[in-house]
Amino acid sequence: MIFHARVAFVILCQFMYVADMKTPSNDIMKAAKQLLEKEQPTADTCKVSSDNAISRMRLTGQVEEALSCLIKRLNKDPLQSWHWAQLGAVYSIKGKKSKANTCFKQAAKLSGKVSSFSQWHILAPFVTGKPELDGDPLEAFGGVKSTAKRRFNKKLVFYSELASGGKISWQTYEQISDQPVQVSPKINWGDLVNSLGSVAITEWQGWAVGEFSVNSEKEDVAVQCLGVPAVYVDGNLIAGDLYRREYFWSSLSLQQGIHSVFVRLRAKATQVFQCRFKSTDEEILIHEPSKIPDLVEGRLISDHLPVAIPITNLKTSNWLTKVRFKFGDNPASLILDEESRETSIAPSQTALVPLFISQKKDVVADCKDFKLKVTIVFSGGSKEVAVPFRCRKRHESFLMSFIDHDGSIQEAAVIEPIGSCHDMECRVVLSLHGTGVAAQNQADSYKRMVDGDWVFGVEHAWVLAPTRHGAHNWEGPGSLTAMTALEKLHEYSHGSSWPWPDGNKALQDEVIFAGHSMGGHGAWHLATHYPQIAKAVISMAGWNKKEEYGDSNKFFEFDISSSHVDAALKAILEMCFNENDVDRLVSNLKGLPVFARIGAADRTVHPFFTRRMFRLLTEEGVNISYSELKDKEHWWWDTWNTNDGGVMNDPEVRQFLEEYTISELPDGLHCSADRSDCTGDIASVYTDQQDDYTLTVYNPAYGGYVKGVRIIQQIIPLRKSTLQMKRNQDGFHLVTSNILTLSIDLPSEETVTVDGSLISTSEVPTSICSESGSWKICDTFTVGRIMTMYGPARRVAEKPFLIVTGTQVKSARAKLLQLSTYLSNQFMMTSDTGSRVVEDTRLSLSELENQNLIIIGNTEENKWTETFLGRIPIKPLVNGVQLNRCNFTSADTGVFSLAPNGDDHLALVLMGTSLDGLEDIVQLATPTIPPMARSPFSNMIPDFIISGPKLRLHGPGGYRCAGFWGNQWNFRQELSSCVC
């Protein structure tokens, strides 16, 4: 639709202004005025008057017609910058460079180096599914770039099952000034929801097409699109800003002329988006610092704490390789740990650069908030930024920052224990927040009013509330961030620089997992995956699996690709997230006290989910206390009395916590930070009950460790494995299912049998392998791929990683760098993940061996691709690739695969038989689930994918093959969607 009144008003005002001029406006250059006068006779042949008609003629090659009409329009209104830009484009097509330059200079005089037309053409809605990738119906008509050229043809129709009659067409929307565009397709959503029985049908996809003009001869242009995940400018793929944080800009070097913008829309009922274009005269942008640690009573809680400084490199060819920080005076005597930071920010990349701070020793500073002036010096100059620090009182919540498992900078809120603990070591209430809740707000939910004063915290236990940006759902990267925060709190509180040497210390192996809403799911998730360190579980309004909660992630319900995906492929894709379905893992909570509660009137997370866990845990014999409070909704501050603690800290919760925070700690397990090694008196933590304990695992990379036994390797990776454990007067008895290798760390004096085989445990830990039905001692270094190297693909980003861009083919170099930067920016946008982009020729041997890698480019384009392909069963062919006995030689074949990088690191290879095939594969990283975008490759992406030319049309239905590698990095038919 066109906002006719607004357009008419603008045109009328401009017409009145021009008509009132007695002399040519100063805004009209002499050369432009002369051009119009000279070309005036041309205007007489124009037979149309609308802007759309003129644009249609330009796009469809009707050059002379477009020229005559533009001259006619400009003679009437010479202040229209967009018409001057169009006229310049038409002259460029005709090869009239001098006249084109005159027109573009006039456009620049009126609106600057970059100008845009205020109309968007929208083609929507098409149906879409919930996964990050689905098919695009426009690909059947040549793709959006081809069909957009015909967008002015009102008779052109496309086909969508959402629309009455099954047909839709291009619509025109006006972007007024700098306001967002709101797209609301005229669809009877209520009828669809009622008839199909699902709100998920209200999610749709489509395309928006617009244009802007570069009026100088060549210009670096910064592009920002809010509310959408990705944007094409001509043929350049750049990251959008789905979360609307407004500091993600991507730069492109563009020639003079008109450029097209293609925005992939995906929304629920209504789409709101906004795109901006500007000339980039600056070298870098410094954004507001984040992840800033608090001072407590004027002191930092530890040395070498990071602050995140977001920096965007606006240059399109120059890398930012070093920044230097300088501090101004500050009342807290903060000092730089390092003045210079070796960094590597690729052209058009946004990265979080760490600023590490410590504090002068023996300084007693006043406790007050202040802003620290930091000067950032780089090759092109310097900029200042103010870093705001807060000072908190003891027993208030405070923020701590830390370097996370993947090398990123994250933060958590902390509250000290109320009172002392046994031996001054306190358990930790690891409390996980819900969607959109800040870490400090989650920590401060542990408050109550006593005699008119607020009391924060928990008796005899630390409150630790970690956070991480994005839709991790406390799975994958979110769960590892929570566990790293636990490790860091332990490290800081035991460190020599901790401000209170006689204070309570934090344990990292005595944890009460708690959370609300998404955090309630997180509490279930962490407790079922790390039962070895769990002391209790508190889940408030938690759901069980994302695919069943609300309409957020329906698994192949309305997807376009569901018409092309068979059951074998669906099974492979579902295996990627099985490990997150906590209701399948309830056996792991046996022996743990559980408290679950929800408001009976909660319609954000319906009580159905908590009731299901109540039933399943009761069936499993778990000690669960369940409470469903009448008239309570999703969140409340007052349960029975005003300010009594509410959801997370009312008397009922405090009574439950009291049992598991003040009891004397056993001389039991003490685990390493990554839970790979636990020592201590195993028997003291093993239940003396005579009944069985069953550990259920889908991916031993997460969990798979309890009561001194760890699953090292499965027979069939990523399928359900169970380990039944029983201890009686005869010793320990283990019964396994789908387990190939175990590590046993049980008391050496105890007898241990595994599936009837007697195992010697004279030395612990002992690794044992199943061979021909019996178990024998073995060396895990000889058994092949083990749990630390298991997939799926998202695990490449669970350690510090580099994105390695190919430079070997000059004609492909710029495209590979653009795709590498796109991928890095998506990691940053979705989860604040810092990933360095490095050219293949600059990758050092130490970097190669000590980090995970994402390799971009085929064997000719990237010097490392062939190395890693040599470690998996994918072999390059002249015009395709070979997988086991299958050859894939169709045009635009793409390859995506994990590969081993030494004994403890992973590489992810992204390549294609063409650059289009590679781009298809890179787009698997594009997040699209509104309003929460997940980190790249974190959902439904297995170990390997080979895509074909129909990937864009059919989504996952365009996979030629997908699956998981075996324990020897070998092809296994039962783990693949194709028969090879």
260 is a domain residue: yes
Closest CA to 693 of 723, 649, 737: 723
Residue with tokens 């300084």: 363
Two tokens, residue 373: 């002036």
Query: Average pLDDT, stretch 382-397?
Result: 95
Q: What is the pLDDT of residues 898-934, one digit of tens each?
A: 999 999 999 999 999 999 999 999 999 998 777 678 8
Distance in angstroms (rounded) separating the CA atoms of residues 729 and 724: 17
Q: What does the pLDDT read at residue 691?
A: 62
Closest CA to 444 of 647, 300, 627: 647
- Confidence class of residue 16 from pLDDT cuts 50, 70 and 90? very low
Query: Would the pLDDT of 974 be above 90?
Result: yes
Q: How many structural domains compose the chain?
A: 6
Q: What is the pLDDT of residues 680-733, one digit of tens each?
A: 443 333 444 446 899 999 999 988 888 889 999 999 999 999 999 998 888 899
Q: Say if residue 464 is in the same domain as residue 536.
A: yes
Q: Say if residue 320 is in the same domain as residue 364.
A: yes
Q: Say if residue 962 is in the same domain as residue 929.
A: yes
Helical H segments across 371-476, by residue range: 439-444
Domain end position, chosen among 654, 679, 704:
679
Q: Say if residue 623 is in the same domain as residue 641.
A: yes
Closest CA to 896 of 928, 934, 865: 865
Query: Would the pLDDT of 22 be above 50?
Result: no
Q: What is the pLDDT of residues 83-108, one digit of tens each?
A: 999 999 999 999 999 999 999 999 99
Query: Would the pLDDT of 563 be above 90?
Result: yes
Q: Say if residue 859 is in the same domain as residue 871.
A: yes
Query: Average pLDDT, stretch 607-611?
Result: 96
Half-sphere exposure of 508 (CA within 13 A, CB side): 20
Distance in angstroms (rounded) separating the CA atoms of residues 888 and 874: 10
Query: Would the pLDDT of 349 be above 70?
Result: yes
Query: Average pLDDT, stretch 846-868?
Result: 95
496 is a domain residue: yes
Please give the DSSP secondary-structure letter assigned to residue 188. Answer: -
State how far Cα 196 lies from the chain centre: 31
- The CATH number of the domain holding residue 96 is 1.25.40.10
Q: What does the pLDDT read at residue 376?
A: 94
Q: Say if residue 141 is in the same domain as residue 247.
A: yes
Residue with tokens 């996979």: 959
Q: What percent of the chain has pLDDT over 90?
A: 77
Query: Would the pLDDT of 252 be above 60?
Result: yes
Pairing of strands 114-116, 203-226: antiparallel
Domain end position, chosen among 111, 127, 155:
111
Q: Is 507 exposed, middle or buried (0-12, 13-18, 19+ CB in 10 A)?
A: buried
Q: What does the pLDDT read at residue 25?
A: 52
| DSSP-assigned states of every residue in 514-580 | EEETHHHHHHHHHHHH-GGGEEEEEEES--S-TTTSTTSS-SSSS-GGGGT--HHHHHHHHHTTGGG
Residue 264, domain extent:
119-281
557 is a domain residue: no
The overall average pLDDT reported for the chain is 90
Bridge partners of residue 127, in order along the sequence: 204
Query: Average pLDDT, stretch 543-559?
Result: 86
Residue with tokens 């406390």: 474
| DSSP-assigned states of every residue in 768-822 | EEEETTEEEE--GGGS-S-GGG---GGGGGSS-EEEEE--SSHHHHHHHHHHHHH
Query: Would the pLDDT of 833 be above 50?
Result: yes
Q: Say if residue 636 is in the same domain as residue 763.
A: no
Q: What is the pLDDT of residues 68-77, one digit of tens each?
A: 999 999 998 9
Q: What does the pLDDT read at residue 975?
A: 97
pTM of the entire structure?
Answer: 0.93
561 is a domain residue: no
Q: What does the pLDDT read at residue 929?
A: 77
Q: Is 48 exposed, middle or buried (0-12, 13-18, 19+ CB in 10 A)?
A: middle
245 is a domain residue: yes
Q: Say if residue 526 is in the same domain as residue 654.
A: yes
Q: What does the pLDDT read at residue 663?
A: 57
Q: Say if residue 206 is in the same domain as residue 347.
A: no
- The CATH number of the domain holding residue 522 is 3.40.50.1820
- Confidence class of residue 67 from pLDDT cuts 50, 70 and 90? very high
How many angstroms separate the first and last alpha carbons of the chain?
A: 52
Q: What is the pLDDT of residues 623-673, one digit of tens each?
A: 999 999 999 999 999 999 999 999 999 999 999 999 988 755 444 333 333
Query: Average pLDDT, stretch 243-257?
Result: 93
Q: Say if residue 246 is in the same domain as residue 126.
A: yes
Q: What does the pLDDT read at residue 879?
A: 86
Which value, to the nearest 10 degrees, does the dihedral of the CA atoms of residues 54, 56, 57, 59 take? 120
Q: What does the pLDDT read at residue 550?
A: 74
Q: What does the pLDDT read at residue 553?
A: 76
Bridge partners of residue 912, in order along the sequence: 894
Query: Average pLDDT, stretch 587-602?
Result: 96
User: What CA–CA distances, in Å, run from 540 to 431, 601, 632?
Assistant: 11, 14, 12
Domain end position, chosen among 334, 359, 393:
393
Question: Is residue 795 within 8 Å of residue 317, measured between CB atoms?
Answer: no
